Structure 1
Amino acid sequence: MNTKRNLYKDFEHPFAQFVRILGKGKNGARSLTYEEAYQAFEMILKNEVLDVQLGAFLMLLRVKEESVDELAGFVQATRDQLKFRAIDVDLDWSSYAGKRKHYPWFILSALTLAKHGHRIVMHGASGHTINRLYTEQVLEYLGYTICQNENEVASELNQHNFAYIPLEAISPTLSDLIALRNIMGLRSPIHTLSRLINPFNAKATLQAIFHPAYRSSHQQTAAKLGYVNSAVIKGEGGEFERNPDAKTLICGIRDGELYELELPKLTADRSAIEEELNLDTFKEIWLGDSQHTYGEVAVIETMAIALYTMNVADKFTQAQTLAQEYWQNHVIEFNFGLKKDTIRCLF
């Protein structure tokens, strides 16, 4: 590292300009333009940046908070470096937060949608924040393949209408950057931009945020990237999952038009936090062997948002009705159909 630094004793490193723009002081600093953000992140992805510059850059952005132009530039630079072939995908579902207080009900939403013919690709990262249950761990427990390349994604979609691919398989560089969470002590813009990459150009996208202020920036960035159907919510635990205990504001794009839709809270009192996230219990609910009042509402309502985002229903109330039918059909199939024993064989 010192050798690399010494190369720049007599002239400025080309990345220094971007650190300077962000860190020039209260009166001199500004956000990056779209073009500057694109160029800066392209250099990061190509490993043309020193570690000390990268740390300063990410933390300056974290303090300032990323602008729409910055996010769009970062995401587009990432998308332009991805070499995935075209795959027919209905819904891109990002999953980067992990769960701590409640089960990952959104996973059952996605799997139920897939069982009813909707082609879904989910992507995420695991382990970047301690003491959380991550999607990859849950899917492996339920017997699903963790895809490592686009061919496996295509195969899983053709077999199950659902595929999960970790960020590490999409972009090892982004995966390394998101893992800095436990070194920096803070999340960085990587947690935000990873949710927006839509690696297989799905027709619709879902992103969840934890801090409400990011709803609008995600929505506007998705629009700037040309996504015509998208939804952003403050999801339970930071995952794309409707929390029945709170109002849910959807900041969406529908046929290219931005909209907001606020959904009311569905419970009178705050639901109890799970004492333990026992995956045996979670699997029993998926197989129809057990029931969970809070969980089933979360599954159905999350499905409804996804269906509305995919333009499967013209009105949200229609999406809710269809989601309810999907879940009831799923339970009936597992309880009385021939597929139940077949599904059990997967475990």
Structure 2
Amino acid sequence: MTEHPNADLAPYVRILGRGPGRSRNLTREEAGEAMRLMLAGRVAPESVGALLMLMRFRGENPEEIAGFCDGARDSLPEWRALAPSIDWPSYAAGRSRGLPYFLLAARLCAMAGQTVMLHGWNSAAHMRAAADLRGMLAPIGIPVVETPEAAGAALVSDGICYAPLEAMSPDLYRLLRLRDLFGLRSAVNTTLRVMCPSGAATSVQGVFHPPYRPLQASASMLLGQPRQVALKGGGGEFERNPAKSVTLEGVTGGARYETEAAPLIDETRRLAEAEPDPAHLPALWEGTRTDPFAEAIVTGTAAAALFAAGLFPDLGAAEAEAGRLWATRPRSQAA
């Protein structure tokens, strides 16, 4: 008798879906094995959907996310060996996001001597055209890489690069795109933010819903991530609103921390402009456009990342350095 392809995943679906009083969350080990099976393509899409939606219904917990990250990391040994200074995920749908000013913040971090690997995928079905992150990479001088070798070379030559998820891991990309069938996010979205595929010592993560801040910090603790920070950012990206007090929640040296980033500018404005012009992003870097609010987004976000990386004793010192970097930036496209 031929074994049904769902048989390997069935025990984990049963654990989650037995019913009131009998079901439970997966352990870290169970979640890790489930992720390995899903990435290997050994299970049918129906069983993957059942597992992910049951996890969503119950509410994913830190152990499950850590386990999913374990399984995902096991499939990316060459990427994990890169070990840049900062891992910067970008997986927000972009429905409520304006121009990706955080890309300029990442360039400031590279100017500070921190190698930065951005990675991600953003759903075109939910994104305003002006919020297209990938369309902004070339105009502001961030190279796109599709192999670990190319990433390593770009980190040496430019100090920064962007890896598309579908190049980095076609199998994780396949799991993420199941959202198009479910109409709902899943624990895969959280995993991609937390897993730090580059092996960086510092991981900076954005969330759209504040409850994910402690979830991602706790999962990072379980994973032994040396330094990590999460904030509720523009459209769910790691992008600080300079007009509001923003909570930074994360991990450093094996301990959890939480700090409030005070407003940087006395101006009330949405991060997502009504009709953003993509040309404004490179123009801001080159100095042909002046916008104090946008500049505060950039320097405030860079300061949060530099603080998370442990380069400064407090956020104020990081903000001062980010301001200095902005004032002395090379006003050209080349990174």
Q: TM-score, normalised by structure 1?
A: 0.89
For 1:80 and 1:98, how far apart are their aligned partners in 2? Answer: 26
Indicate how the Cα distance of structure 1 residues 281 and 89 shifts in structure 2: closer, same or farther if over 3 A, else same: same
* Alpha-carbon separation, structure 1, partners of 2:200 and 2:125: 28
**1:12 CA drift (Å):** 7.7
Deviation sequence 1:193-228 (CA, Å, 0-9, x none): 011221221111111111111111100111111111
Q: Which residue number corresponds to residue 213 of structure 1?
A: 211
Pairs within 5 Å for 1:107-186: 107-127=103-123, 129-132=125-128, 133-186=131-184
Whether the 8 Å contact between 1:129 and 1:181 is mirrored in structure 2 is no
How big is the alpha-carbon RMSD for the aligned residues of Structure 1 and Structure 2?
Answer: 2.1
What's the CA shift for 1:238?
A: 0.2
Answer with 214-223 or 265-274: which moved more: 265-274
Rounded Cα–Cα distance in structure 2 between residues aligned with 1:17 and 1:134: 40
Q: Evaluate the alpha carbon distance shift between residue 180 and residue 277 of structure 1 in structure 2; reply closer, same or farther with a 3 A threshold.
A: farther
**1:67 maps to 2:61:** yes
Partner SS, residue 17 of structure 1? helix
> Identity, % of aligned pairs?
32
Structure 2 partner of 1:310: 309
The runs of 5 or more residues in structure 2 that have no matched partner are none
Helix, strand or coil at the partner of 2:36: helix
Flag the structure with larger Rg.
Answer: 1
Structure 1: which 5+ runs fail to align? 1-5, 335-339
Query: Which residue is equivalent to 2:16?
Result: 22
Letter in 2 for 1:92: D
Runs of 4+ in 1 over 6 A off after TM superposition: none
Deviates more, 1:237-246 or 1:138-147: 138-147
Q: Give the secondary-structure state (helix, strand or coil) at the position aligned to 1:279.
A: coil
Highest RCO, 1 vs 2 (Cα 8 Å, sep ≥ 6): 2
Q: Determine the structure 2 residue equivalent to 1:106.
A: 102
Residues 11-62 of structure 1, C-alpha deviations (whole Å, 9 max, x = no match): 9812111111111123221100111111111111111111110111111111
Task: Map 1:1-347; keep pairs closer than 5 Å.
Answer: 7=2, 13-84=7-78, 86-99=81-94, 100-127=96-123, 129-132=125-128, 133-268=131-266, 270-272=268-270, 273-330=272-329, 333-334=330-331, 340=332, 343=333
For the 8 Å contact 1:124–1:135, the answer to whether it is kept is: no
SS in 2 for 1:13: helix
Corresponding pairs, count: 330
Write out per-residue CA displacement over residues 110-132 of structure 1, whole angstroms, 9 at most, x where no aligned residue. Answer: 01221332110111113265224
Asked if the contact 2:142–2:160 (Cα under 8 Å) also holds between the matched residues in 1, the reply is no
Residues 221-255 of structure 1, C-alpha deviations (whole Å, 9 max, x = no match): 11111111110111111000111233211111122
Structure 2-normalised TM-score?
Answer: 0.92
